[in-house]
Amino acid sequence: MKKTGFVFDEKYLQHNTGEWHPETADRLRVIVDRLQESGLLEKLIRIEAEPANQRWIEAVHHVNYIMRFNDACAMGMPDFDHQENAICRESYDAALLAVGGVLKAIDYMMQGDVDTAFCAVRPPGHHAEADKAMGFCYFNNVAIGARYLQRKWGVERVGIIDFDVHHGNGTQHIFEADPTVYYYSIHEHPSFAYPGTGREFDLGIGEGAGYTLNTPILPGRGDLDYRKKLTQDLIPAFKQFKPDVLLISAGFDAHVNDMMSGVNLSTDGYDFVSELIMNLANTLTNGRVVSVLEGGYNLEILPLLVENHIKHLAGMRGV
């Protein structure tokens, strides 16, 4: 078994989005409950999150945006930038701690204290733009993690794999002109799904041309398309790019039972995705992966999918 870290903090539960909202604290509660009951949690190395230093947030987000978000929470506003982005007074601190959890997991991995890590954090991040909150996301956890790897740890090339069913518009836009961070996303086709970006012909811009790749999946499709497309698109792209470290935007809303999408990935299909990523990591990055929770809204299936994913990170499943 690989040394696998696990990030979670009770303060992530304090980001209260209200009763109607799908992105709730219960998502993390059911995940931690299941990991406890199955005994997997005690096999993982617990990583304590600390609030991220604002300088790392500023590596991705505009200072003005960070202050606007802080102010909105402090003033007790009900939402931020859009009605769907529900907030409360504790949301800013939770978001800062979500980023901090990812950065701490990266420290553990780079120091060799863990081989891989899963960050059970919220709020999620991949829709957050440099200066705009979108899709329940405020700080782009994974994007900040990529910059942290480069600036704190001297890593040259970071590969991001985003298998949330929604396109990570924020992550793509943050890195689309940058040849040192490769953003790959597989998601429901933008003509049918939020946020309406992530076309096959978006391949990066300027110096970053050739370092963005999107695989749109049509509604109603599932395992077969994921197998075919990940094998055809992701594997050759990353074998050529040769990332030093992989970061994962792990969304579990592509599952057939998750009503947030029309894509029908099965539980086995998710296993295939995790296995393929770990094979890539073992080949390219010496097994170094930090995986960060994004979406996944069906509280019945989410804990099982996360447990299976962590087992792959830990080398307890697959090859």
Binding site for Zn ion (CB under 5 A): 164, 166, 251, 253, 295
Closer to Zn ion by Cβ: residue 204 or 251: 251
Structure tokens at 42: 């005690």
Closer to Zn ion by Cβ: residue 164 or 178: 164
Question: Toward Zn ion, which CB reaches closer, 208 or 295?
Answer: 295
Residues whose CB falls within 8 Å of the CB of residue 67, separated by 6 or more in sequence, listed in order:
none
Report how far residue 49's alpha carbon sits from residue 9's, in angstroms, rounded to the nearest whole number.
7
- Cβ 289 to Zn ion shortest distance, Å: 20
Give min distance, CB of 297 to Zn ion, in A.
Answer: 8
Is the CB of 253 or the CB of 271 nearer to Zn ion?
A: 253
Instruction: Name the minimum Å distance from CB 252 to Zn ion.
Output: 9
**Shortest spacing between CB 188 and Zn ion, in angstroms:** 9
> Minimum distance from CB of 173 to Zn ion (Å)?
17
> Smaller CB distance to Zn ion: residue 81 or 162?
162
Nearer to Zn ion, 5 or 296 (CB): 296
DSSP string, the chain: ---EEEE--GGGGG----TT-SS-THHHHHHHHHHHHHT-GGGSEEE---PPPHHHHTTTS-HHHHHHHHHHHHTT-SEESEEEEE--TTHHHHHHHHHHHHHHHHHHHHHTS-SEEEE--SS--TT-BTTB-BTTBSS-HHHHHHHHHHHHH----EEEEE-SSS--HHHHHHHTT-TTEEEEEEEE-TTTSTT----TT----GGGTTSEEEEEE-TT-BHHHHHHHIIIIIHHHHHHH--SEEEEEE--TTBTT-TT-S-BB-HHHHHHHHHHHHHHHHHHSTT-EEEEE-----TTTHHHHHHHHHHHHTTSS--
Using the minimum distance from each CB to Zn ion, give the nearer residue, 101 or 168: 168
58 burial type by CB count under 10 A (0-12 exposed, 13-18 middle, 19+ buried): middle
Cβ at position 253, least distance to Zn ion in Å? 4
Query: Which sequence positions are flagged as catalytic?
Result: 127
The whole-angstrom separation of Cα 166 and Cα 179 is: 23
As measured in angstroms, the least distance from the Cβ of 168 to Zn ion is 9
Residue nearest to Zn ion (CB): 295
Instruction: Decide: 193 and 262 in contact? Cβ < 8 Å.
Output: yes
